[in-house]
Chain A
Amino acid sequence: MKDTVLAAEVIDGMPLGQARRGFAGRISRIVADHVPSTLPAHEVERRLIELGFVEGAEVHILHEGLFGRDPIAVRVNGATVALRRREAMAIFAG
């Protein structure tokens, strides 16, 4: 189930959680159903939106952490946000 959801999303971009430093693109979709978290999926989604991650926003990965290249710092329409790759899997951009 989960996998099919994921597969369907991959079509309209790649998850930001898998992108490397320097990646730049436009957000195509925010879906958090497949993101394991202490928070429910809709809450992860709302928080991402509140930090400015909405469909159409431009994103650019500026920095990565040392261990597992995690967390990442993302420029989103003029603001910089730090987040973990796990939550960034909910952001699809191309």
Chain B
Amino acid sequence: MHDMTEVAAARVALVGVPNCGKTALFNALTGSRQKVGNYAGVTVERKIGSARTPAGRRLDVIDLPGTYSLRARSPDEEVTRDVVMGRRAGEPAPDLLVAVADATNMRSALRLVLELKETGRPILLVLNMIDIATYRGIGIDAAKLEAELGIPVVTATAVRKAGMEALFARLDRLLAEGLPEPAANRWQEPSAGDLRAAQRAADRLVAAIVRHPPRPDTATARIDSVLLHPVAGLICLLTLLFIMFQAVFTWAQPLMGLISAGFDFAGVLVKEVVPSGLVQSFLVDGIIAGVGSVIVFLPQILILFLFILLLEDLGYMARAAFLMDKIMGGAGLHGRAFIPLLSSFACAIPGIMAARVIDNRRDRLTTMLVAPLMTCSARIPVYTLIIGAFIPARTVWGVFSLQGLVMFALYAAGIVSALAVSAAAKFLFWRKAPTPPFMMDLPDYKMPRLKSIAIGLWTRARIFLKRAGTTIFSMMVVIWVLATFPMAPANATEPGIAYSFAAMIGKFIHPLLAPIGFNWQMSVALVPGMAAREVAVAALGTVYAIQGGEAQVGHILASQWSLATALSFLVWYIFAPQCASTLAVIKREAGGAKWMWLTFGYMLALAYVASFATYQIACLLGAG
């Protein structure tokens, strides 16, 4: 018998089908804030947290990606299999498997439990979402299930931390008695016949212990009759995306004005207090003009995230994938690729990671390679800055803001180019291959919970501000130094910056970028812009601030750039691989530097060609 009091923490792994609430349970047990969402495939990595039972026992709780079986069809499911079977190097198999089941959908959950029993590890079953089951009038005889399965069964409502005392008490009792010695692992990859038999056995269990209400809940089906309607559904999806991007542009304006006024005020204050000279320039031009010009965009980014979080929690993501399936398939993408691509609106990195749920390697690679083309939130500052400076704030067709329309067009350009690149790859490399299958659970709609949305937004705000305070801040220091030194000679005729390292670097690169209409200030901003896209905005802010002029970088740009240059810059940012972390993640997830270089190369080529065309055409049309 294992004795696990105080000595070592018991390792407890959460296993279950996708979307049954494992991560919600993990958060409830450990107090973590891992991402929860109402679609399959939210968690693609293993996460470890620690918990302490009322009796003082330490638990190492492991959250795992959801899976229908231990067969491991895709990389995320491999993670689960390896942890459950103890196949990870240097990591023993978990002492206890906590199987999590969605109480409103027990069929697949119980089949998985039957399969887990084959591994011989001790199991405890949590019937989660018992609140929804109760609300719908679904009765579950947990005691009978416990007897039938021969394992402890506990009910819980993980998102409200309800049932945690009972779960902890049960865990304490199990650990105090000592977990049963693991039996021999009899697991074998199930054949179709085995799966059938297991599903039949699970269905018999369900029939014996679940009492269905006389009238089933039809709320989801009724909502879907509109949202999944062949025509109305697509119109809703497009309207939704349209509102989302318009909102990003228009709703945020008042708050942004406020933040930017705050930074202007800080600039004035510093100029009052600090004597003019290097220190003042560092504070005003380097930090306030640089970092401030990025922080201004926080409201926009939060509005975008608010939309994405609401859609995720509501259960709309899988529906969007359903509606887009034909279009995605036409572009040679896997039906499930839509969710990673939609996540990439927030940031390409989680988007690329989310591609793990795609089983076929070729499809997964295509998805990862085109994900960076989706308009991530780091492009928002760049787009907003240029749009604000060059596109008049007019209302068109009575209701739409012209600036919002341009923003929508830029988003659309990102989506279209991602689809086009993948279609081109399909056409060039695997024209004959049939389109990969699309099979996916459509979860029931759930009311988004205010608290989890608030936590999600807060997490994003913290990440953004932390980036502004670290990556962007340090880049700003570098740029300020480069743009300030060496200082102008005494008899200088030009602004000091013309003599600086920044000018030298910018003028060195400039010939390469002149054909696409970039000036040397833009050229120098692109270099630190590799670290993160927003840095380019901050760099422009600093370079132009040192050069002298207004504090508001947008006003300076409007007076210094031609429209052709501005458009070319926007187009550059649709395509250019301006993000080192994305490239690093592609290298890791795709398993090789060559995929990273391929992404870098094709994006750079696209960016250059597209910007070149934009600039030259705009000049011909007289916008130079």
A interface list, Cβ under 8 A from B: 30, 36-39, 42, 44-52, 54-57, 62-71, 73, 75, 77-84, 86-87
User: Which residue of chain B has the shortest Cβ distance to A68 in the bound complex?
Assistant: B326
Q: Check if A37 sits within 8 Å of B191, measured CB to CB.
A: no
Interface centre among B228, B321, B437, B442 (most CB of A within 10 A): B437
> Which residues of chain B have C-beta atoms less than 8 A from A30's C-beta?
192
Q: Check if A48 sits within 8 Å of B439, measured CB to CB.
A: yes
Q: How far is the CA of A66 from the CA of B231 in the complex (A)?
A: 6
Q: Check if B326 sits within 8 Å of A65, measured CB to CB.
A: yes
Q: Check if B441 sits within 8 Å of A51, measured CB to CB.
A: yes
**A-B pairs with lowest CB-CB distance, top 5:** A66-B230, A50-B68, A63-B228, A67-B326, A80-B442
Q: Check if A84 sits within 8 Å of B196, measured CB to CB.
A: no
Q: Check if B224 sits within 8 Å of A71, measured CB to CB.
A: no
B404 at the interface (CB under 8 A from A): no
Q: Check if A42 sits within 8 Å of B105, measured CB to CB.
A: no
Number of interface residues of B (CB under 8 A): 50
> Which residues of chain B have C-beta atoms less than 8 A from A87's C-beta?
437-439
Question: Given A65-B230, A66-B234, A73-B224: A50 and B107 within 8 A (CB)?
Answer: no
Q: How far is the CA of A42 from the CA of B189 in the complex (A)?
A: 13
Q: How far is the CA of A71 from the CA of B325 in the complex (A)?
A: 7
Q: How far is the CA of A38 from the CA of B108 in the complex (A)?
A: 25
> Which residues of chain A have C-beta atoms less than 8 A from B90's C-beta?
none
User: Out of B69, B200, B325, B440, which one reaches A65, CB within 8 Å?
Assistant: B325
B440-456 residues at the A interface, CB under 8 angstroms: 440-444
Using an 8 Å CB-CB cutoff, how does the interface string of B220-236 with A read, 1 for contact, 0 for none? 11001100111101100
User: Which residue of chain A has the shortest Cβ distance to B67 in the bound complex?
Assistant: A50
Interface centre among A56, A65, A75, A77 (most CB of B within 10 A): A65
List 15 extra interface pairs beyond A63-B224, A69-B230, A82-B440, CB under 8 A.
Answer: A36-B434, A38-B435, A38-B436, A54-B196, A54-B203, A56-B200, A63-B229, A66-B230, A66-B326, A67-B326, A71-B438, A79-B105, A82-B439, A82-B442, A84-B438
> Which residues of chain A have C-beta atoms less than 8 A from B216's C-beta?
78
Q: Check if A83 sits within 8 Å of B68, measured CB to CB.
A: no
Q: How far is the CB of B276 from chain A (nearest CB, A)?
A: 65
User: Out of B68, B203, B231, B437, which one reaches A38, CB within 8 Å?
Assistant: B437
Q: How far is the CA of A67 from the CA of B225 in the complex (A)?
A: 17
B201-252 residues at the A interface, CB under 8 angstroms: 203, 212, 216, 220-221, 224-225, 228-231, 233-234
Using an 8 Å CB-CB cutoff, how does the interface string of B322-354 with A read, 1 for contact, 0 for none? 110110010000010000000000000000000
Pick 15 A–B contacts, CB within 8 A, sort by A. Answer: A37-B434, A38-B360, A47-B73, A49-B196, A51-B108, A52-B107, A62-B221, A65-B230, A65-B322, A66-B323, A71-B322, A78-B216, A81-B442, A82-B321, A82-B325
Q: Check if A65 sits within 8 Å of B192, measured CB to CB.
A: no
Q: How far is the CA of A55 from the CA of B195 in the complex (A)?
A: 12
Q: How far is the CA of A78 from the CA of B225 in the complex (A)?
A: 17
Question: Given A63-B224, A84-B438, A86-B437: A49 and B192 within 8 A (CB)?
Answer: yes
Q: How far is the CA of A66 from the CA of B68 in the complex (A)?
A: 29
B519 at the interface (CB under 8 A from A): no
Q: Check if A81 sits within 8 Å of B199, measured CB to CB.
A: no
Q: How far is the CA of A16 from the CA of B196 in the complex (A)?
A: 19
User: Which residue of chain A has the shortest Cβ distance to B112 in the bound complex?
Assistant: A50
B380 at the interface (CB under 8 A from A): no
User: Out of A39, A55, A69, which one reaches B437, CB within 8 Å?
Assistant: A39
User: Which residue of chain A has the shortest Cβ distance to B111 in the bound complex?
Assistant: A50
B433 at the interface (CB under 8 A from A): yes
B318 at the interface (CB under 8 A from A): yes
Q: How far is the CA of A10 from the CA of B441 in the complex (A)?
A: 27
Q: Check if B433 sits within 8 Å of A84, measured CB to CB.
A: no
Q: Check if B442 sits within 8 Å of A47, measured CB to CB.
A: no
Q: How far is the CB of A48 from chain B (nearest CB, A)?
A: 7
User: Which residue of chain A has the shortest Cβ distance to B68 in the bound complex?
Assistant: A50
Q: How far is the CA of A82 from the CA of B336 in the complex (A)?
A: 11
> Which residues of chain A have C-beta atoms less than 8 A from B105's C-beta?
78-79
Q: Check if A79 sits within 8 Å of B108, measured CB to CB.
A: yes
Using an 8 Å CB-CB cutoff, how does the interface string of B80-121 with A read, 1 for contact, 0 for none? 000000000000000000000000110110010000000000
> Which residues of chain B have C-beta atoms less than 8 A from A63's C-beta?
224-225, 228-230, 233, 322
Q: How far is the CA of A39 from the CA of B363 in the complex (A)?
A: 13
Q: How far is the CA of A81 from the CA of B69 in the complex (A)?
A: 17
Q: Check if B228 sits within 8 Å of A47, measured CB to CB.
A: no
> Which residues of chain B have C-beta atoms less than 8 A from A36's C-beta?
434
Q: How far is the CA of A50 from the CA of B381 in the complex (A)?
A: 44
> Which residues of chain A have C-beta atoms less than 8 A from B200's C-beta?
54, 56
Q: Check if A82 sits within 8 Å of B437, measured CB to CB.
A: no
> Which residues of chain A have C-beta atoms less than 8 A from B203's C-beta?
54, 56-57, 77
> Which residues of chain A have C-beta atoms less than 8 A from B360's C-beta?
38
Q: How far is the CB of A77 from chain B (nearest CB, A)?
A: 6
Q: How far is the CB of B23 from chain A (nearest CB, A)?
A: 20
Question: Given A50-B195, A81-B441, A82-B439: A73 and B434 within 8 A (CB)?
Answer: no
Q: How far is the CB of B32 from chain A (nearest CB, A)?
A: 28
> Which residues of chain A have C-beta atoms less than 8 A from B436's C-beta?
37-39
Q: Check if B107 sits within 8 Å of A64, measured CB to CB.
A: no
Q: Check if A83 sits within 8 Å of B326, measured CB to CB.
A: no
Q: How far is the CA of A47 from the CA of B297 in the complex (A)?
A: 44
Q: How far is the CB of B136 from chain A (nearest CB, A)?
A: 10
Q: How far is the CA of A37 from the CA of B434 in the complex (A)?
A: 6
Q: Check if A55 sits within 8 Å of B323, measured CB to CB.
A: no
B447-477 residues at the A interface, CB under 8 angstroms: none
